[in-house]
Structure 1
Amino acid sequence: MKPLSEYSKMKLISFTFCLIITKIQSACVPAFHDLVCENLSDVRNGKSESLVTLTIGNTKKSPIETLSAGTFKKYTNLEELTIISSVNKLEVDAFRNLSKLLVLKLYKNSIAVLPDFAFIVLPQLTKLDLQDNNIQQISTYGPFIYNTIKTVNLSFNKLRDLNWQCFASPGLERLIITNNKIQEIGIEGVLSKDLITLNLDSNEINHLEDDVFQDSQKLEELILSRNRFSTLWTKFKLKSLKKLDFSHNKITTIHESVFDGLPQVEQIYLNDNLLKKLPPQFAKIHLHTVHLHNNRLENLEMIYLNPSFEYELTFSRNPLPCSCLDNWIVFMELRRITTTDCHREFYGNGNNPTCIVIDAEWDSGKCSHSRTEDVDEYVYKFLDMNNNTDADC
């Protein structure tokens, strides 16, 4: 066999080297300025200073890798980084060199601890998404101690309270912590003064102190649905609040002072509770949207209907007298009040499965009837029989 020339040897070495590199990087798929990789090792072996978006993750495996310092030292221009089902531990300097990063998403990992100052090396970061991890506790001084982060999402973790000063970080506007085990929000000073949205859906909160939102006077949206409230007595005193959601609790009573400090509120969601009546202050609020379906209301006279605005009202599956319900539907049409598509079908064609047959009188938006123990018994039987009358809208 004729020996290989020096040139042929070099070509063979280059070809072999290319095969090795291709095999190493085979789990990464480039597309313009984006790169998708299966493992952290693929990222460490690659290099692309022009990359803007990088996604790492294989949802078919369990997170077992440690995100260590230097992992992204060759990707200094990244603006968005997503890591899915890969990491079970963060090192303090894991994100060093990513000074241009704007968005960081760590989905479906097994991270239990957020190290102090873990994100302080990201001076441009505006959105931090830590959904679906095992985070149980966050230290007081980390990780959101600087004012570039606007949005933090910690949904589907194992947090039990909000007593950490890190959530008071200036600049934090949206805090989303749904589907955790939060039982209480700490005293005043634990929430940012710049907070606009606070979403605590699906937790275990059963009460709120009066001053808990005292420092959050920019708050516009407060969501506390699917918690464990049975009575509302908190004096919110939130002059900027526009949306209040206490749906899917077990609220039987709302104290009169609850709505006194909410002059700007436009949307109230109280559906799927156990309310028998609304407080008088409810009639003073200029609302645009009110959801009251799936309660135990027997009249709706405490609702203020502002004819100057488009107005949405739901009230299906309440034990309203049939004559009152029929008149309310006509009243809504005259006032151009709408309801959701989901509920509209229960009011159509004269078929109103949410009403009870008792003597009642209608007077221009008000309905009254005499109360007897027989009626009470009938109402509760009705509610039990119609527990699944209509779908959740």
Structure 2
Amino acid sequence: MYSKFIIQFPVLWLLVLGSSRIQGQKDEDSNEFPENSSEMLNPESNSLVPDCPKKCSCLPEGIVDCGGFSLKEFPIDVPELTNHLSLQNNQIEEIFPEELARLYSLETLNLQNNRLTSKGLPEEAFEQLENLNYLYLANNQLTMAPKFLPNTLISADFAANNLTKIYELTFGQKPNLRSVYLHNNKLEDAGLPENMFNGSSNVEVLIMSSNFLKYVPKNLPRALYKLHLKNNKLEKIPKGAFSELSELRELYLQNNKLTNEGMDNETFWKLSSLEYLDLSSNNLSHIPSGLPRNVVLLHLEKNAIKTIGKDVLTQIRNMEYLLLHNNKLKAHGIDPLAFHGLKKLHTVHLYNNQLDRIPSGLPRRVKTLMLLHNQISEINRNDFATTYFLEDLNLSYNKITSSQIHREAFRKLRLLKSLDLSGNNLHTLPYGFPKNLHSLKLKVNEISSIPRGTLSGMSKLQELYLSNNKLKVSSIHSESWRDLTSLKILDMAGNQLTAIPSDLPESLEYLYLQNNKITTVPEDAFDSTPNIKGIYLRFNKIAFNAVKESTFQRLKQLQVLDIEGNFEFSDPLKNGDHSDEEMEEDEDEGEQDVEEK
């Protein structure tokens, strides 16, 4: 019976399901082998080099790729003049020094994703490789770093092992060394020599995240521009730890145990080039003093910050992003001059705090302001009187009531494009919305009426979300949609509508009316919306005979009509209408109709 109903309409019925594809994700700390030669040459086609090891791929340029063949031993017949050797993704447990010593031209050696242990990798294993530039040993089972590495080294990757100790000459005395990757190991402070980078002052990238360090390592290379120390157990930053790092641009210290007592006013002061500072997920009770002047992005979320003082941020003149969500901030704890002079600050996250009102003294040039999940109960006339450049304002999931929104609260927000008031205590649509809004979200409130004039003049509004409220057709003013000439999405799902709202905007493309109490779909229900592409009427109370084919035939743009969860039929046997045989005949006829159409 249901299939017979479906065939009446020449549109795509029910839901169009989007396909998803799982893609590999690269961790920000990870360092991957730059070129995988197996992608350049089929493993079976190794005829370009006559003495190429079995199964491996070889190119005349000295590139040998033996990756991904479950090799348990180092291949003994690698050409002597090999420059780049890839053995990643195998099961090699041991390498003898003489196997590497004869490969005197080797510049790149990739051994990541094997089963190498420190016992199976002798201290002198790499001593003879006087041309080695790139060494990849990530994802093995090493517990100690090699004591000696060639001084020609440019990059070394020991990530995701079980390292507990680094030696002085592991990374020391290497003037060409530029990047070191040691994240996801078991390093403690005692396992690091004081002069770990002595004679290696040109190191630019040092990744030591996800270890067990309690202190910032001493004597860091002066050339560093990226330093990752997140996911450690840092409690203290020793005095002068960063004083020589004038080139540092990115500093990651999140997910540690840092407190304000573990740093002083000069901890970050000399980081004159620093642009990215992440101190999130620590134990800070207030914003540290002496932050660098050139920071652009400042992460302070997920701490226990209760106050923002008058002068703690004002010297950071280049700051554009300030993330303070998930703290313990209250409005009276934010000094009215806390953001004074920050002319470049355009994005501020203050959500998941304890704000009971809109903080005073908001940055004048802020464009994105996230205040959701606080305890704000009112919006006063002058709360946004100076934030002329605001474009995106999120006030969702607070305690705002309709009567506590001043009619002129948004009068200065002439550039505002997105306003979210979802999850509050609104009982009626408030007045005074900015006329330039593109998106208005009022989901999950108690809205039971749309009074006259509350949406007037909003000719640029493209998306209106009113789902999960208490709207009835009779409580929507007849001219509510008149000025919404750009509206494309109207979401009124989860309300108390018993009919489809009339006189909907001609521009409408998607209409969401699922989970209402709609019983009929009149033939002229969509006459005003000829451009509609999606109609969602799932889980209403529409009867089988309450919809006519002609209702949708004129909608030439219609792509999705979701009407599942309706059409509750009575038992035909109880009504004496049809026998089982007659119903089967009807179904057969319906299937034949489907094939013909």
Query: Match for residue 195 of structure 1?
Result: 319
Aligned residues: 335
Bigger strand fraction: 1
- The correspondence for 1:316, drawn from 422, 425, 443, is 443
TM-score (norm 2): 0.50
Query: Match for residue 157 of structure 2?
Result: 35
Q: Does 1:235 align with 2:361?
A: yes
CA distance in structure 2 between the aligned counterparts of 1:268 and 1:248, rounded to whole angstroms: 13
CA distance in structure 1 between the aligned counterparts of 2:259 and 2:208, rounded to whole angstroms: 20
Q: Is the 8 A contact 1:175 1:199 kept in 2?
A: yes
Q: Is the 8 A contact 1:151 1:174 kept in 2?
A: yes
Superposition deviation, residue 153 in structure 1: 0.4
Report the 3-state secondary structure (helix = DSSP H, G, I; strand = E; otherwise coil) of the residue aligned with 1:161.
Answer: coil
Distance verdict in 2 for CA 1:300–1:264, change over 3 Å: same
Gaps in structure 1 of 5+ consecutive residues? 1-10, 367-388
Superposition deviation, residue 282 in structure 1: 1.1
Deviates more, 1:103-112 or 1:29-38: 29-38
Distance verdict in 2 for CA 1:151–1:20, change over 3 Å: closer
Q: In the TM superposition, what are the counterparts of 1:125-164 in structure 2 within 5 Å?
A: 125-137=248-260, 138-162=263-287, 164=288
Distance verdict in 2 for CA 1:146–1:100, change over 3 Å: closer
Query: Match for residue 477 of structure 2?
Result: 362
Report the 3-state secondary structure (helix = DSSP H, G, I; strand = E; otherwise coil) of the residue aligned with 2:123.
Answer: helix
Distance verdict in 2 for CA 1:109–1:65, change over 3 Å: farther
- The correspondence for 1:217, drawn from 343, 368, 388, is 343
Q: Is the 8 A contact 1:291 1:314 kept in 2?
A: yes
CA distance in structure 1 between the aligned counterparts of 2:208 and 2:120, rounded to whole angstroms: 29
Deviations 1:316-366 (A, max 9, x none): 1121125669x97x998x745136xxx6xxx6xxxx432245964637559
Q: Does 1:338 align with 2:463?
A: yes
Gaps in structure 2 of 5+ consecutive residues? 1-97, 103-118, 128-136, 482-514, 516-597
Q: In the TM superposition, what are the counterparts of 1:289-300 in structure 2 within 5 Å?
A: 289-297=418-426, 298-300=428-430
Q: Does 1:86 align with 2:211?
A: yes
Superposition deviation, residue 152 in structure 1: 0.7
Q: In the TM superposition, what are the counterparts of 1:240-279 in structure 2 within 5 Å?
A: 240-277=365-402, 278-279=405-406
- The correspondence for 1:124, drawn from 247, 263, 266, is 247
Bigger helix fraction: 1
Distance verdict in 2 for CA 1:228–1:217, change over 3 Å: same
TM-score (norm 1): 0.73
Deviations 1:223-271 (A, max 9, x none): 10100111225132x3321111111111112332221111111111111
Distance verdict in 2 for CA 1:66–1:337, change over 3 Å: farther
Query: Match for residue 21 of structure 1?
Result: 124
Q: Does 1:285 align with 2:396?
A: no
Distance verdict in 2 for CA 1:74–1:365, change over 3 Å: farther
Query: Match for residue 433 of structure 2?
Result: 303
Report the 3-state secondary structure (helix = DSSP H, G, I; strand = E; otherwise coil) of the residue aligned with 2:290.
Answer: helix
Q: Is the 8 A contact 1:276 1:296 kept in 2?
A: yes
Q: Is the 8 A contact 1:53 1:79 kept in 2?
A: yes
- Pair member with larger Rg: 2
CA distance in structure 1 between the aligned counterparts of 2:154 and 2:239, rounded to whole angstroms: 35
Superposition deviation, residue 76 in structure 1: 3.0
CA distance in structure 1 between the aligned counterparts of 2:265 and 2:448, rounded to whole angstroms: 54
CA distance in structure 1 between the aligned counterparts of 2:269 and 2:156, rounded to whole angstroms: 27
Percent identity, please: 18
CA distance in structure 2 between the aligned counterparts of 1:84 and 1:92, rounded to whole angstroms: 12
CA distance in structure 2 between the aligned counterparts of 1:263 and 1:331, rounded to whole angstroms: 20
